[in-house]
Amino acid sequence: MTSISLTDSGLRAVKRALVARFPNEKSSHLSEALAAACGFRTHASLIAAVREGDASDPDFVLLDESSFLSRREELTGNQTSAGDRHMMFDHLPIEPSADVLKTISARFHSVDYSKSPRRRAWRNAMVAGINAALSRRLFSLRPGDNRWPGSPRELHEQQSAHVFHFEIEGIPAIASLWDAGWDEISVHVAFWPTKDGERWVPAANAGFLAGDLFASGWLERRNGAWLQVGSDSGKNWSFRCRKSRLAEVAALQVRSAGYADRGSFAL
């Protein structure tokens, strides 16, 4: 699950690695399959999105391996081999850079959200809040790139959490952002916020004072881009949710925007 910027340089870095991995395949086929991995129907539509974007402040997308392999199979007419089915973009010789972000960490494969509605609801709330902040350009996935009002400050200056409103599938929500240091961002999210939710959501254990659902966590950006997931004991994560709301939030379908939705927790 490599993440790349929608820029010429980001696409070139991955395309070079794909050509080295599949030296006997047509360049056009690899380009079309790469477009599918980026979530586009055609290479032309991918290039159009790159041209319309801001190269100095691009969006990031997670490369989807299954979409790449399926499209490659359609174009070549050949069945994907067992070895190719295990081709992870993270294993390609792509150098991490400002346009290519690592998203796989030691804890990635050990996190399983399917076993717990509470974990799924926590994950969905956190991803929704982070996605909303990214879409508003309040920060980017690049290390240290904080942009919310008041984020540029001297080390001796006091920091205030930035609170903003958003909505996910008709659910009203608020979130707060805090520079946690080491290029991490502390993110708190409340769904169905209370009338005093804006005041409470930055608090470490705001719980139902912030809303019918409260979730908090950290976004990693120094060693890669992923949502940090603590132990199943709950010591490293905070979550409260009304029983009547849990199933609805756990069932949300929300894809993380350019970062992994699970990864190692940094102390």
Q: Do 96 and 127 belong together in one domain? A: no
50 and 118 fall within a common domain: no
Q: How far apart, in whole angstroms, are the C-alpha atoms of residue 3 and residue 61?
A: 5
pLDDT at 170 over 50: yes
Q: What stretches of the chain show up as alpha helix (H) in DSSP?
A: 8-21, 27-37, 43-52, 65-76, 82-85, 117-135, 197-200, 243-250
Number of neighbouring beta carbons within 10 Å of residue 147: 15
The answer to whether residues 125 and 236 belong to one domain is yes
Confidence at residue 6, expressed as pLDDT on a 0 to 100 scale: 92
Record the pTM. 0.87
Q: Which of 72, 101, 130 delimits the end of a domain?
A: 101
User: What does the pLDDT read at residue 259?
Assistant: 94
| Nearest CA among 94, 92, 33, 101 for reference residue 67 | 33
Measured between alpha carbons, how far is 228 from 106 in angstroms, rounded to an integer?
A: 11
114 and 231, same domain (yes or no): yes
According to the model, what pLDDT value does residue 240 have? 93
Q: How far is CA 140 from CA 60, 65, 107, 185, in A?
A: 9, 24, 23, 11
| pLDDT attached to residue 221 | 93
How far apart (Å, rounded) are the C-alpha atoms in residues 257 and 98? 16
pLDDT digits (tens, 9 = 90+) for 109-153: 888 888 889 999 999 999 999 999 999 999 999 998 999 987 766
Residue 77 shares a structural domain with residue 151: no
Domain that holds residue 170: 108-250
